[in-house]
Structure 1
């Protein structure tokens, strides 16, 4: 079932938002100025209205995915950050003490509510255009993820996005240790998406199995998680 549209619940800690989130914070401005009710209208037919378990409202789920695009995070890293980032919680209409979703909920939401592969791209694209029209996203480029394939919104094809993520992970490892040289798999035909996907996952597997000490580095883990979502 679809719950009521989420609003910020009463909280004894709500004052933290005004104390710690600047009035000109980008996410705060988008939350306050950009309407998200169009999400409800577009997705309400995908929910049963009279039975079933109460679901997280689609507006909040979409906001999670917008944050994912905004910050270029994997599902796991997005949820981990949302637990402690007050700007994220404010954007999601959560009280500071509220819990966040399980990362698997994002996969389920994409599969059950976004059956059109291009729908998420269009929804985020619409939000981006509205925000840019208000001067809230000046020059920002977002990563859009509709089917666990990643592409630079409006600019970059999936193949190039895969190459850049795998390359970024490799180079991050090179900076951390000289032992990374010569350990990664050979590069593949960049015109073959399947080969690129296999290569990117092999790069991640190489880091985990042959350079496990690097997994203690947060920026390495973040890149690993993004690569594994392809």
Structure 2
């Protein structure tokens, strides 16, 4: 008798997130040499320590925005969708497969309200680039540009 195979997507498997990200993945190289712990000290003055809702961890937020810049994801909504499905992004952000991903509006509201009038965001990305240069991840000798012409809508 011909049986319909069971769906492999519902099978229970035991894996680690670490085992799902290739050893030579770019995010592993970045994670090995870039220290993001300085972010909390830079943004401490922008958060109230004893009032309001618990915030999105600023390190998580800036690492997510870093992913968007690094991989050319221009929309915050698209970035959140990519984080939901990309195992390497989840690994980099220290999110488990079962963790809910923050809402895209959380990123945009923080960017527009909390960081709009400060130079903190620029200082964070400058420090990341400085670390990347110091560890040889960036050297500035090659510049790629895209000169694709798109017709305006």
TM class, shorter-length: 0.7 to 0.9
Cα-to-partner distance string for 1:72-123 (whole Å, 9 max, x where unaligned): 1111111110001111111111112212111111111112331346432332
Q: CA RMSD in A?
A: 2.8
Counterpart position of 1:28: 28
Q: CA deviation at 1:30?
A: 1.8
Determine helix, strand or coil for the equivalent of 1:115. coil
- Please state which structure has a larger fraction of its residues in helix: 1
Runs (5+) with no aligned partner, structure 2: 1-12
8 Å Cα contact 1:14/1:96 also seen in 2:
no
Over 3 Å off, 4+ runs: 116-119, 136-141
How many angstroms apart in 2 are the aligned matches of 1:47 and 1:13?
39
Runs (5+) with no aligned partner, structure 1: 1-11, 142-154, 156-160, 171-183, 185-202, 207-230
TM (norm. structure 2) is 0.76
Between 1 and 2, higher relative CO (CA 8 Å, sep ≥ 6) is seen in 2
Cα-to-partner distance string for 1:134-164 (whole Å, 9 max, x where unaligned): 13346599xxxxxxxxxxxxx9xxxxx9xx6
Q: CA deviation at 1:46?
A: 0.8
8 Å Cα contact 1:89/1:95 also seen in 2:
yes
Counterpart position of 2:53: 53
How many angstroms apart in 2 are the aligned matches of 1:110 and 1:133?
28
Counterpart position of 2:88: 87
